[in-house]
Amino acid sequence: MMKDDNFLKEHNAKALWHPMGAPADSMAQPPKIITGAAGVSITDIDGHSAIDAVGGLWCVNLGYSNDVLKGAIADQLQSLPYYSAFAGTSNPAAIEASVAMQDMFAADGMARVFFTSGGSDSVETCLRLARQYHRLRGQPTRTKFLSLKKGYHGTHFGGASVNGNARFRTAYEPLLPGCFHLPSPYTYRNPFHETDPAKLAQNIAAAMEDEIAFQGADTIAAFIMEPIQGAGGVIVPHETFMPLMREICDRHGILMISDEVITGFGRTGHWSGARHWGVKPDMMSMAKGITSGYFPVGAAMIGEKVAEVFETADSAEAGIYHGYTYSAHPVGAAATVACLAETQRLQLDQNAAARGAQLYAGLQGLAAKHDIIGDLRGGHGLMAGIEFVSNRDQKTPMDMATMKRLHENIYQAGVMVRLVMHSVVMSPPLIITEAEVDKIINAIDAGIMAL
């Protein structure tokens, strides 16, 4: 039995430490208690409803009311709630889910799947398999990783080591040695003072060549990037950027890992972010939209080239002594099968493209109207970022007290958004309708005007 509201409010954040915040802040300002959700909206303990423009956490692609997915999870709990998938045993749902993933991402050159419990696990898996791949090919000195500043790759030590934001790193240093970061394709602020996205892509490519020459290509295992940087504030590179990175990786024998934890499963308007940019990576890390957030599942997808090396190597060397108790969890796998089927049946890639264009156009209207919008990013599916400044000419980041008021104003106007420092980011459910997107735009407008 759920305890009553008074109990919940009284104990809010007193026993529970929340990710991505200071315990004392949560105690001083207890978090909103979300008690229910339906369609694309959430309801809090005081009965206030809001369109969830965050999609949970970039993940509830199918919205909150998908009964096919709920039914699949419930049925699987009845027939087989758990069994290990460590080598030696499998389960029907895991087999089905693996084929569904293979089918969905064959166009990206992906051949095999390794299931995990979430995005950080998937990144960790890709980084490890990248090193092992080179060992199997007789190049054991290839151990280093390249990545982008502003990138987010989860919170395991491997992922944090390739993360490109000090916030996720400094308190936990020293991190993995041998990780090097290139500038982000962030036209609004970058060390080249370059506002042209195509030229910025060229500059970063030159910086990458320079770093590879300095480190020595034969010491680098992989380069990891998000096709669109999400948690960094929705940073959309120029269309030439990922193809340029692909070409450089190929020329130097470096594997390319596309971190698709947010961009996978239709968010960009294509089934993967790499496909959106016309690139075939060597591996993809995935999670979130794989079950629409209904059950914790992630996956590392392994491309043909990498799969072949593992599958033809001496098996003593090619043992994957890595994995999780919940890898290929039958309930998670059943959720995956249902979620992928629903995602494709509803053609959520197409809706993401159409509604994303509408959202971006609406936000452009707000940027023209409000001086405190310094930079607007989006236009590639249902991801958008609005960077707020107190002085447009100086690009002075808006102070956090104002940002918190803005967040609350927008919530009171009926829409939940997410703050990333002085940016507001959005990644609504991919089932969202035209009228609901209009409500998001209007609520942001109202929230700014109420400042």
Ligand X SMILES: Cc1ncc(COP(=O)(O)O)c(C=O)c1O
Q: Enumerate binding residues for ligand X (CB under 6 A).
A: 118-120, 123, 152-154, 226, 230-231, 259, 261-262, 287
Nearer of residues 299 and 437 to ligand X, judged by Cβ: 299
How many contiguous H segments (helices) and E segments (strands) does the chain have? 15, 16
447 near 419, Cβ under 8 Å? no
**Helix, strand, or coil here: 142?**
coil
* Ramachandran area for residue 414 (φ above 0: left; ψ -120 to 50: alpha; else beta): left
Which is nearer to ligand X, 119 or 303 (by Cβ)? 119
Torsion of CA 152, 153, 158, 164, to 10 degrees: -20
Contact predicate 359/441, CB 8 Å: yes
As measured in angstroms, the least distance from the Cβ of 44 to ligand X is 23
Nearer to ligand X, 145 or 152 (CB): 152
Q: Which residues of 10-40 are buried (b: 16+ CB within 10 A; e: fewer)?
A: eebbeeeeeeeeeeeebeeebeeeeeebeeb
In the complex, what is the shortest distance from the CB of residue 195 to ligand X, in angstroms, rounded to a whole number? 25
The pair of structure tokens assigned to 305 is: 């080239």
Pick from 291, 239, 241, 232: nearest CA to 265? 291
CB of 392: closest distance to ligand X in angstroms?
29
What token pair was written down for 421? 């420092």
Rank residues 127 and 262 by Cβ distance to ligand X and give the closer one. 262
Q: Which is nearer to ligand X, 424 or 443 (CB)?
A: 424
Rounded to the nearest whole angstrom, what is the least distance from the CB of residue 442 to ligand X in the complex?
27
Determine the residue with CB nearest ligand X.
119
Residues in the chain: 451
Other beta carbons within 10 Å of 95: 14
In whole angstroms, how close is the CB of 127 to ligand X at the nearest point? 12
Say if residues 302 and 285 touch (Cβ distance below 8 Å): no
Q: Shortest gap between Cβ of 163 and ligand X (angstroms)?
A: 9
| Closer Cβ to ligand X, 164 or 374, answer by number | 164
Query: Cβ of residue 120: shortest distance to ligand X, in angstroms?
Result: 3
By beta-carbon proximity to ligand X, the closer residue of 169 and 199 is 169
Q: Which is nearer to ligand X, 91 or 122 (CB)?
A: 122
Cα(102)–Cα(392) distance, rounded to whole angstroms? 47
Q: Residue 324 Cβ, how far from ligand X at the closest point, in Å?
A: 12
